[in-house]
Chain A
Amino acid sequence: MKTAIIFLTSLFMVTALNAQPHKKRPLSGRPPDMVYVPAGLYRPFMQQGDKSGRVQLQAFYMDDHAVTNQEFLAFIKANPKWAKSKIPGLLADQNYLEQWSGDYQIGNPAICNSPVTNVCWYAAAAYAKWRGKSLPTLDQWEYALSFPPVGLPKNRSVTRYILDWYSNPTPEHLAAVKTGYQNDLGIYDLVGSIWEWVDDFNSVVESGDSRSQGSLEKSLFCAAGSQSAIDKSDYASFMRFAFRNSLKAKYTVRNLGFRCVKNIN
Chain B
Amino acid sequence: MKKTVKFAFILLSLIGVYCMFWGCSNNKADKQDQLETLQGSYTARLGVAPLAPPSIGQYKTPQKVIVNLLVTEKQMQLANGVQYTFWTFNGTVPGPMIRVHQGDEVEVHLSNSPNSTMPHNIDFHAATGPGGGAEASATAPGHTSVFGFRALKPGLFIYHCAMAPVGMHIANGMYGLILVEPKEGLPKVDKEFYMVQGEVYTDGKFGDTGLQHFNLQKALDEKPDYVVFNGSVGALMGDNAFHAKVGETVRIFFGNAGPSLTSSFHVIGEIFDRVYLEGGQMINRDVQTTLVPVGGAVITEFTCKVPGYYSIVDHSIFRAFNKGAIGQLEITGAENKDIYSGKIKDEPYIETQSK
- A interface list, Cβ under 8 A from B: 93, 95, 98, 159-160, 163-170, 217, 219-224, 226, 233, 235, 238-239, 241-243, 245-248, 251-256
Contact = CB atoms under 8 A, between A and B. Distances in A.
Contact of A238 (B114, B116, B165): B165
B198 to A, nearest CB: 16
A163 B134 contact: no
Given A160-B216, A169-B73, 9 more contacts: A98-B114, A166-B117, A166-B118, A219-B164, A220-B164, A221-B166, A251-B140, A253-B140, A255-B117
A254 B321 CA distance: 42
B117 A222 contact: no
Contact of B115 (A217, A224, A254): A254
A221 B121 contact: yes
What are the nearest 9 A-B pairs in CB distance? A246-B119, A222-B162, A238-B164, A246-B140, A220-B164, A238-B165, A242-B164, A235-B165, A221-B134
A224 B75 CA distance: 31
B142 interface: yes
6 contacts: A93-B142, A167-B85, A221-B135, A238-B165, A243-B119, A254-B141
Contact of B141 (A98, A220, A253): A253
Contacts of A170: 115-117, 141
Nearest to B141: A253
A215 B135 CA distance: 12
Nearest to B143: A251
Contacts of A243: 118-119, 140
A222 B106 CA distance: 21
Contacts of B16: none
A166 B119 CA distance: 12
B85 A163 contact: no
Contacts, number: 96
B123 A253 contact: no
Nearest to B138: A246
B151 interface: no
A226 B165 CA distance: 9
Contacts of B85: 167-169
Given A169-B85, A243-B140, A254 B114 contact: yes
A255 to B, nearest CB: 6
Interface residues of B, number: 32
Interface of B: 73-75, 85, 114-119, 121, 123, 131-132, 134-135, 138-143, 162-166, 168, 213-214, 216, 220
A118 B166 CA distance: 26
Given A163-B216, A169-B85, A242 B163 contact: yes
- Most B-side CB within 10 Å, residue of A166, A167, A168, A239: A167
A253 B142 contact: yes
A223 B115 contact: no
Contacts of B164: 219-221, 226, 238-239, 241-242
Contact of A247 (B114, B123, B140): B140
Contacts of A245: 119, 138
A239 B119 CA distance: 8
A233 B220 contact: yes
B353 to A, nearest CB: 65
A169 B162 contact: no
Contacts of B132: 222
Contacts of B74: 169
Nearest to A164: B213
